[in-house]
Amino acid sequence: HLIHYFRLSHHLIVLNYLICTFDKLKSVSSEHINITDAVFDGVEVRVFEPPGKPDEMLKRSVVYIHGGGWALASARTSLYNNLCRIMAESLNAVVVSVEYRLVPEVCFPEQFHDALRATKHFLQPDVLAEYSVDPNRIAISGDSAGGNLAAAVCQQLSKDEHLTVRPKLQALIYPVLQAFDFNTPSYQQNMNMPVLPRYVMINYWIDYFNGNHDLAHSLLINNHTALDVGQALSYRGRLNWTSLLPSSFKKNYKPVVQPTGMAEIIQEIPALLDVRAVPLLAENETLQLQPKTYILTCENDVLRDDGVMYAKRLENAGVEVTLDHFDDCFHGCMIFTIWPTDFSAGIQTRNSYIKWLDENL
């Protein structure tokens, strides 16, 4: 932030440079998994392929979209490289990890477009045949901001009448799904929780939308969706956590709904209500089209209620949903399985996630 203050560079560029400098891996194949880098319709991807066997049927596959607030990390860092390699080995599946462009190089909707283009390219029958993938056994998945992109892409694919192949499953890991209410019980309960405090998540949203950081406090107190903001009125019922959350999550927290707010925020950042950015606000007709869904949530996470509410809305729309909640885990834990950050929470959540994919894909 000091570098940003002196206008030497954007703080996210500096942070990501440090992360990738110390953590980036080359594509190192092994006897168990072949790792290659490719380009799908202009989007870089890393592909993890188990070795084929002469008498083997077509393989299943997972399109994976990494997290990092749309601004950090990479499909090539050791944390995601390790996760996708283990997924490919455990599931005997082809895993395609999408290397979408990051903030601040590009902002919404470019990350969404990158993920959508790469996924649609992979879903082409000739491409699936090239990788020996069964077109009926494909999942789309992602964690955090990657879970946001996976959900948004899945919604878009479900409405594309020209597609001949669609995902069989979606699996969302502590996904960020809405910017409508920053005072859900989990946002209130975990507002100062390490890894992802509430103010950090709000800043990620502002950077994603290329917005003005002076608006951060107004967003925090929900001025952008006050009762007098007409643009938000039609969406309010789709994100009513008092009816969508079980009492064990609502606890004693109260809704924060401002009677008067700042309609100009939505005018300045209309993407706050764009379902390509906030999939939880999608209409019921779109939710009815979604495939069988897995959502992993953690108690110590501001985003817990995003996932729980999406699970409930999908369930209400008739979609088969598995909500896998962990009381003792935190945001981002699933990728922390390598020394020196090899946490039991990471192993626990990763094993549960892979087990569900193995049983359902």
Residues acting as catalytic residues: 144, 301, 331
Tell me the C-alpha distance between 8 and 271, whole Å.
Answer: 28
Tell me the C-alpha distance between 133 and 332, whole Å.
Answer: 29
Q: Answer yes or no: are the C-beta atoms of 324 and 356 closer than 8 Å.
A: yes
Of 136, 162, 149, 153, nearest to 58 by C-alpha is 136
**Beta pairing class for 337-338 and 341-342:** antiparallel
Tell me the C-alpha distance between 104 and 210, whole Å.
Answer: 8
Greatest CA separation for the chain: 67
DSSP character at residue 348: H
Residues 6+ apart with CB under 8 A from 65: 97, 98, 100, 115, 140, 141, 142, 146, 147, 149, 150, 153
Tell me the C-alpha distance between 34 and 16, whole Å.
Answer: 27
Residue 244 identity (one-letter amino acid): L
Burial class of residue 57 (count of CB atoms within 10 Å of its CB; 0-12, 13-18, 19+): exposed
* Dihedral over Cα of 74, 81, 115, 184: its sign: negative
Q: Which residues pair with 138 in a beta bridge?
A: 61
Q: What are phi and psi of 220, to 5 degrees?
A: -60, -35
Tell me the C-alpha distance between 115 and 175, whole Å.
Answer: 15
Q: Answer yes or no: are the C-beta atoms of 111 and 70 closer than 8 Å.
A: yes
Cα separations (Å) of 141 from 13, 78, 87, 103, 169? 25, 18, 11, 21, 8
Q: 340 preceded by cis ω (within 30°)?
A: yes
Sole residue written with tokens 């399109």: 63
